[in-house]
Amino acid sequence: MTRVAIITGGSRGIGRAAARRLAADGYALAIAYASNAAEAEDAVREAKAAGGQAVAHRADVADENQVAALFDAAEETFGGVDVVVHAAGRLVLSPIAELDLDVLDQLHRTNIRGTFVVDQQAALRVRAGGAIINFSTSVLGLSLPGYGAYAASKGAVEAITMILARELRGKDITVNAIAPGPTATAMFLDGKDPETIARMTAQPPLERLGAPEDIAEVVAFLAGPARWVNGQVLRANGGIA
């Protein structure tokens, strides 16, 4: 039986690399995106070229009705859901003292409510033998200035992940989070000057930024063979923390 994965944030960055990687393993994919239909269709074409089946579906991850419709589409198209990769997220950088609280609310709507909504549907719909994979950040261990709102949202993601893993006792479904370090995606690179990027590139002992493909390998591990890894946060950061 073909395994089926839903990937939120699948039109770009880490989500798109994860779609290519799971497609190479033969998955059928429902690639969810927020607004850019052209990028989502490109991601679908890449997934098909890598050897998988794929469709694109627009959904606001914080809207429970749209997320339910996303799961409906995956079930109707491919027959069920085995893996959920929740890679959608938002990053805002600002000192805590200066952050507009409306921006804070928007960030937390996507990162916290979005994770809760997606995980809620996943808990109800993922088949036995499946996996739920959330995304945190290694910034939680680094406590970098400017990342207060973002790190706070990802602390909530880790809490949701740990608790859901325990609530799904007896279901044969693993729940884990990946916490990337600095990774060369548009979300990370946008708004950073060359000096900041160079400094963060030099941080890991491997002396480079992560690539989306590095994180996609961790996704593939948790989605498939890693059945004894459950209720964990995997810090995929090249050794910085």
Mean pLDDT computed over 109-120: 98
- For residue 74, the enclosing domain spans 4-185+212-234
Q: Give a yes or no: residue 206 inside a domain.
A: no
Residue 160 belongs to a domain with what CATH number?
3.40.50.720
Mapped to the 3 state alphabet, what secondary structure does 53-106 carry?
EEEEEECCCCCHHHHHHHHHHHHHHHCCEEEEEECCCCCCCCCHHHCCHHHHHH
Q: What is the DSSP string of 149-217?
A: HHHHHHHHHHHHHHHHHHHTTTS--EEEEEEE-SB-SHHHHTT--HHHHHHHHHSSTT-S-B-HHHHHH
Q: Give a yes or no: residue 24 inside a domain.
A: yes
Q: Give a yes or no: residue 138 inside a domain.
A: yes
Active-site residues: which are they? 150
Q: Give a yes or no: residue 241 inside a domain.
A: no
Share of the chain above pLDDT 90, in %: 85
Q: Give a yes or no: residue 156 inside a domain.
A: yes
Query: Using 50, 70 and 90 to split pLDDT, how confident is the model at 235?
Result: very high
Say yes or no to pLDDT of 127 above 90: yes
Mean pLDDT computed over 120-142: 96
Q: Give a yes or no: residue 75 inside a domain.
A: yes
pLDDT confidence of residue 27: 98
Mean pLDDT computed over 69-95: 97
Say yes or no to pLDDT of 195 above 90: no
pLDDT confidence of residue 197: 83
Query: Using 50, 70 and 90 to split pLDDT, how confident is the model at 35?
Result: very high
Q: Give a yes or no: residue 147 inside a domain.
A: yes
pLDDT confidence of residue 209: 87
Our count of domains for the chain comes to 1
pLDDT confidence of residue 198: 84
Mean pLDDT of the chain: 95
Query: Using 50, 70 and 90 to split pLDDT, how confident is the model at 186?
Result: confident
Mean pLDDT computed over 117-128: 98
Q: Give a yes or no: residue 207 inside a domain.
A: no
Return contacts of 103-110, CB within 8 angstroms, 24+ apart.
Answer: 103/149, 104/149, 107/149, 107/150, 107/153, 108/149, 108/152, 108/153, 108/156, 109/62, 110/61, 110/62
pLDDT confidence of residue 241: 62
